[in-house]
Amino acid sequence: MPHQRKKSRVPRPQAVPNTRKPVTKEELRGLEDEIKIKFDWVHEPQAHQMQGIIIAQLQTLRDALVHAGTGPGKTMIAAGPHAHRSSEGKVTLMISPLIALHDEQVETFRDEFKLKAIAVNSSNGGCKPEILQEIVKGEHQIVLISPEMALSRRFIREVLRSAEFGRRVLSIVVDEAHVVSHWGASFRKKYGTLGIIRAFLPRGTPILALSATLPARIRNDVMSKLQFGKDYANIDIGNDRPNVSLIVRAIQHPMNSYADLDFVVEGITHPSQIKKGFIYADNIATGVEIVDHVTELLPPELQKLGLIRPYNAALSKEYRREAMRQFKNGDIRILVCTDVAGMGCNIPDIDLVVQWKLPGSVSVFIQRAGPPQVPCCDICCPALFNQTRPGNLLTAPRQSAIKRGVVNKDVQGALDKWRNKILARDYPSSLYSSSMILRDESIALLSSVGPIDDLEQLKAVLAGQWLWMEEYGNALYRCLAGLQIPPMQPLPKKTRAPKHAHPAVEVPQSATVEESPATRRRLDVAAALPKPLPIAAQASSAASGSSGRGSNNPTETSRGRGRRRGRGRGKPQTPEEIKAEFARELPENPALSMLFTCGRV
């Protein structure tokens, strides 16, 4: 039997004992002052920040769900415990969704909180052995990592299962926790299984979920996936932003023209006049087209300054870092971006956020609409609304009625040769026929209106149905002007039959009509019938008699049926016999008499 190689599996985790002791109230006294000294703050920490620091990570060691809008300092909740003396040598593992966000947060922890931070991702070499050893030894106070990297075999084996790291871990912070629900069920499955990280850490290691968008359904899903217990701390200050006004504007122009975004740079003559902000486009290709369109609206001297730039995950790490630096400094005024720019950004002077088309969910929109940090405007002032107020509705030009005549074959052939010549000259490798230059319907129209005196008349004839007017309009007019086009020949008038004319064809009396024997017999029968009765006489006959097939006289019915059956088997009846038969039945059967009178037989 051939040797089968056993699959390498991560050993089943064993329960790690919790040797960490909660910090007492006496030891927490003066923590606010220690935070201000450690981070060089002049203001006091906010209440929700202290709750996340003290309740979850230092005193009670409980899981915490923090729901706060963008901007109120959720990052401080991860950095704050390291200001206390009991957290020396401790490590906070911060799960963050995007590589670009990792790099920005590393700079934030280093510059604003004076903490040592490192990002473990593919851009920084991934799970290198030397980096993992530094994490285990506690050389970095904040470790930023994606869920895929945190649940990789090497990181679990080298870090999470390490007893030394188990003694050093302070907490697990899940930043942008709403993506646990949004992405965990679709393209990033590891977010959906992030809760298993508890199995590799000491009991009681708190997990903090931070987000600005946690509606009830998303909240329950996040707590379920992260395996929160019933005794978690719920820190909810809401995400209301009184300085953010929402305006919904209906699209007035074709979407592929992006003309509805013209208000962003309308009337701009200096870079400082462009409001600093984001334009969100869910598709990278769409974002590039928006950059081109908005840049073309700028004055020529401003188009080469790079004031409007794309920002997405397809761009290099160096470009994103430099673009974000220039954006913060104000050199770049607008970033046309995906979630990679807006998620977790900390830029205090955003003036405007534009969402191009509807996002995937309301939660995504709330997350994107959060960055504006400027003071609230007066809601009664129309200045804000005037920036995005739609103009007059555009009405499609309607083509005036064109009087058409008989198609001139010579003109039609000349126009066909012209479009073939244009196709061969400008598009020799095209897979399409010459009808892409000028349609058959347009050729038939031009061939039926007579001479065309000038270019304006040509535009009027082809208004709204020829897309090549700007490029080939002059050439087409020259072609038509070189033809000897006769005046328009009106279409022949159509003759209409009288409204009440009988559809039957009248045969002249002098014409000879050949009659077959059957036709002659029917004519003889019709001639032998009595004249039609007046309408009153018909009604009285119908009221007094009974219907033919529903007659109650069995003798008549059987006699009629017998004769009908006999016709198919016996000798054909002569016209005299038919006349005599109907002469006998007409007085006896009023219904049959009425049928003959109405002309149905």
> Which residue among 433, 456, 481 closes a domain?
481
The number of beta carbons lying within 10 Å of the beta carbon of residue 438 is 22
User: Is 365 part of a structural domain of the chain?
Assistant: yes
User: Is 401 part of a structural domain of the chain?
Assistant: no
Examine the domain organization and report whether 275 and 219 are in the same domain. Answer: no
What's the structural domain count of the chain?
Answer: 4
User: Is 18 part of a structural domain of the chain?
Assistant: no
Who wins on pLDDT, 414 or 23?
A: 414
Who wins on pLDDT, 92 or 398?
A: 92
User: Is 382 part of a structural domain of the chain?
Assistant: yes
Examine the domain organization and report whether 98 and 218 are in the same domain. Answer: yes
Tell me whether strands 117-120 and 64-68 are parallel, antiparallel or unpaired: unpaired
- Segments forming the whole domain that contains residue 132: 31-238
The pair of three-digit structure tokens given for residue 544, joined into one six-digit string: 């007094």
User: Is 328 part of a structural domain of the chain?
Assistant: yes
> Which residue among 388, 419, 436 closes a domain?
388
pLDDT in tens, 53-80: 877 778 788 899 999 877 667 888 899 8
The pair of three-digit structure tokens given for residue 104, joined into one six-digit string: 């920005």
Examine the domain organization and report whether 273 and 371 are in the same domain. Answer: yes
pTM equals 0.57
Where does residue 275 rank: exposed (0-12), middle (13-18), buried (19+ CB within 10 A)? middle
Examine the domain organization and report whether 450 and 570 are in the same domain. Answer: no
pLDDT band for position 555 (cuts 50, 70, 90): very low
Q: What is the mean pLDDT of residues 235-258?
A: 83
Amino acid 529: pLDDT? 62
The Cα–Cα gap between 389 and 569 comes to 91
Examine the domain organization and report whether 417 and 381 are in the same domain. Answer: no
pLDDT band for position 366 (cuts 50, 70, 90): low
| Helix 575-588 and helix 517-528, axial crossing angle in degrees, nearest 10 | 40
Query: If you write DSSP's letter for every residue of 426-487 in order, what string do you get?
Result: H-TT-SS-GGGTS-HHHHHHHTTS----SHHHHHHHTTTT-TTHHHHHHHHHHHHHTS-PPP
Rg of the Cα trace of the chain? 45
Tell me the CATH number at 170: 3.40.50.300
How many distinct helices (H) and strands (E) make up the chain?
A: 25, 11
The Cα–Cα gap between 179 and 62 comes to 22
> Which residue among 388, 418, 453 closes a domain?
388
Angle at 71 between CA 87 and CA 69, to 5 degrees: 100
Examine the domain organization and report whether 177 and 226 are in the same domain. Answer: yes
Examine the domain organization and report whether 296 and 362 are in the same domain. Answer: yes
CB 95 within 8 A of CB 145: yes
User: Is 11 part of a structural domain of the chain?
Assistant: no
The Cα–Cα gap between 25 and 87 comes to 15
User: Is 19 part of a structural domain of the chain?
Assistant: no
As a whole number, the mean pLDDT across the chain is 79
pLDDT in tens, 308-338: 999 988 888 889 889 989 998 999 999 998 8
pLDDT in tens, 212-231: 888 889 999 999 999 998 89
Examine the domain organization and report whether 148 and 287 are in the same domain. Answer: no
Examine the domain organization and report whether 232 and 259 are in the same domain. Answer: no
User: Is 393 part of a structural domain of the chain?
Assistant: no
HEC profile of 364-421: HHHHHHCCCCCCCCCCCCCHHHHHHCCCCCCCCCCCCCCCCCCCCHHHHHHHHHHHHH
CA end-to-end span of the chain, whole Å?
95
Examine the domain organization and report whether 112 and 50 are in the same domain. Answer: yes
Examine the domain organization and report whether 268 and 189 are in the same domain. Answer: no
pLDDT in tens, 454-478: 999 999 899 878 989 989 999 999 9
The Cα–Cα gap between 161 and 428 comes to 67
Examine the domain organization and report whether 364 and 295 are in the same domain. Answer: yes
CB 512 within 8 A of CB 556: no
